[in-house]
Amino acid sequence: MKQPEISVIVPVYNTGQYLARCLDSLVAESEPETEIVCVDNGSTDESAKILAAYAARYPNIKVVSLPENLGAGAARNRGLENASGKYIRFCDSDDWYLPGSNRILYEALKKQKVDVVCAHNAFAYEDESDKETNESRIDREYYNPARKGRFPLDENINVNVMLWNKIFKKSLIDKYAIRFPEHYRHDDDVFWFYYHSVANDIFFLEDEVYAYYIRRNSIMHEMINEKKHLARNPSSAKSFTDVTYVVLDFLQKHNLLKDNLDRFYGFASRQFALYMLHGDNLAEEIKKFNRKMKSVGIEKYIICDDDIKGLYFVDGSSSVPTCRIKAWLYRLACYFSFGSAGKRFRQKAKEYRRAANMLKNSSQLKDL
């Protein structure tokens, strides 16, 4: 078989009752030429038998078997290592592609000459009663704002982290050795962060190309199980902060840190916010991060406001008097401004007063 245009990577773990539906949708995607790389993550149900049967029937299905469940990130990495297509897509084994999915994304990528194309997902519910409960949450978390066309992938654009509604260039993935961090939570967020950091342009489509299947209470179970796990194993929460150093190493290795500094701090703040909810010794974790940033020449620090449980960034060159002067100037400007401008100035004055107090009182910036 000649080199396929697209490799679809499918991690599989105990999804036997949904797997045939997934694979049927993938083998139906005959244009362009596609290989399907299924990674069995040590399944204990009938998944392995189903994969073997489909691989015997369809020569474009490749099965990689792992001895045990190493996590979705590890499975996707093995899939990348065994993929031979020019472009990469992902699919979860309980979801499926909508008709023409590969062709729609592939043609847009070739025509627009961009590094990634992003479309929309459709959502399917095992229990329709879940739809009303979860629809607004899903729309908020997984859909892009109304957007169509070509955009530069710079720090000013926000793109959802879902992998399944996108197509990626394997040459770019290979050039920067982009992989999923294994044994960390939210590894797909990190993969997208890496790719976003090295890609130039993105093209948005309005088409729906992927069916995201929401099993009964799956969102609630996922949230509850994670909370229970973290409550029993507080040390696991450190994976939220530890992964920031993995991302930092990637950016430094490829000289990308300065061009992606604001995005990196946005990522770090989310990870520390998650740690703040589930972990212990937040102040020590923040101090460790601030020391690390100072060691690489970036004097921009995270500090935590214990009174309102908020995380903020401050420039290392800021001082208490400077912040107080700026707060006073913005407060003065409020008296000569009306409407939205006045509201904005009041907010800035409040921020600088808070920054002055935190700089004065924060132990997290001492002894860096």
pLDDT at 356: 64
The answer to whether position 128 is within a domain reads yes
Q: Are residues 159 and 255 in the same domain?
A: no
pLDDT for 253-270, tens place per residue?
999 998 888 888 888 888
Asked if residues 178 and 253 have their Cβ atoms less than 8 Å apart, the reply is no
* pLDDT value of residue 359: 53
Counting beta carbons within 10 angstroms of the beta carbon of residue 98, is it exposed (0 to 12), middle (13 to 18) or buried (19 or more)?
middle
Residue-range definition of the domain harbouring residue 250: 217-280
More confident of the two residues 52 and 258: 52
**Pair 296, 161 in one domain:** no
pLDDT of 328 higher than 50: yes
Tokens at 367, concatenated: 């002894």
Mean pLDDT on 230-257: 80
1 part of a folded domain: no
Percentage above 90 pLDDT, the chain: 44
At 246, the amino acid letter reads V
Residue 305 lies in a domain: yes
Judge whether 170 lies within some domain: yes
What pLDDT digit, counting tens, does each position of 202-232 carry?
999 988 899 988 876 554 445 445 545 444 4
Residue 22's CB is within 10 A of a number of other CB atoms, namely 25
Instruction: Return the top range by mean pLDDT from 220-234, 252-266, 295-309, 325-339.
Output: 252-266
- The pLDDT of residue 31: 87
Q: Are residues 29 and 169 in the same domain?
A: yes
Both 180 and 241 in one domain: the answer is: no
pLDDT of residue 354: 65
pLDDT at residue 301, rounded to an integer:
65
pLDDT score of 304 more than 90: no
**pLDDT computed for residue 254 by the predictor:** 96
Whether residue 143 sits in one domain with residue 13: yes
Query: What DSSP assignment string belongs to 200-257?
Result: -EEEEEEEEEEEEEE-TTHHHHHHHHHHHHHHH-GGGGHHHHHHHHHHHHHHHHTT-T
Q: How many domains does the chain have?
A: 3
The residue from 280, 310, 333 where one domain ends is: 280
Domain end, chosen from 280, 303, 319, is at: 280
Q: 120 and 225 share a domain? A: no
In this structure, the answer to whether residues 123 and 44 fall within a common structural domain is yes
Task: Give pLDDT, residue 235.
Answer: 47
More confident residue, 202 or 138: 202
What is the mean pLDDT of the segment spanning 265-290? 78
Q: Are residues 107 and 54 in the same domain?
A: yes
pLDDT reported for residue 1? 61
> Would you place residue 91 in the very low, low, confident or very high pLDDT band (cuts 50, 70, 90)?
very high
pLDDT at 283: 75
pLDDT of residue 303: 62
> Where is pLDDT greater, at 332 or 209?
209
Can you give the pLDDT at residue 332? Answer: 73
Q: From residue 160, give the alpha-carbon distance in Å to each of 8, 144, 165.
A: 20, 6, 10
pLDDT digit string, tens, across residues 75-87: 999 999 999 999 9
Structural domain contains residue 212: yes
Are both 131 and 155 inside the same structural domain?
Answer: yes
Distance CA 333, CA 348 (A): 10
pLDDT band at 312 (very low <50, low <70, confident <90, very high): low
Of 185, 216, 247, which marks where a domain is finished?
Answer: 216
Query: Which pLDDT score, from 0 to 100, does residue 106 have?
Result: 97
Q: Do 244 and 352 lie in a common domain?
A: no
Q: Which two tokens stand for residue 24?
A: 């049927």
Residue 308: pLDDT over 50: no
Average pLDDT value for residue range 305-310 = 46
pLDDT surpasses 80 at 146: no
Name the residue with higher pLDDT: 182 or 8.
8
The yes-or-no verdict on residue 241 having pLDDT over 80 is yes
Banded model confidence at residue 309, pLDDT cuts 50, 70, 90: very low
Which among 15, 22, 78 is positioned nearest to 43, based on CA atoms? 15
Asked if 34 and 108 sit in the same domain, the reply is yes
CA end-to-end span of the chain: 58
Give the Cα separation of 64 and 42 in Å (integer): 10
75 and 175 housed in the same domain = yes
User: What contacts 190, CB < 8 A, 6 or more positions away?
Assistant: 180, 181, 184, 243, 246, 247
Predicted local confidence at residue 236, as pLDDT: 62
Q: Considering the chain, what is the average pLDDT of its residues?
A: 80
Higher pLDDT, 41 or 261: 41
CB 11 within 8 A of CB 42: no
Q: How would you class 361 by CB atoms within 10 Å of its CB: exposed for 0-12, middle for 13-18, buried for 19 or more?
A: middle
Q: Is residue 57 scored above 80 in pLDDT? A: yes
Residue 158 lies in a domain: yes
Tokens of 157: 């654009």
Q: What is the DSSP string of 13-42?
A: SS-HHHHHHHHHHHHT--SS-EEEEEEEES
Task: Kindly state the average pLDDT of the residues 322-345.
Answer: 70
pLDDT at 357 over 90: no
CATH of the domain at 101: 3.90.550.10
pLDDT above 70 coverage of the chain, percent: 71
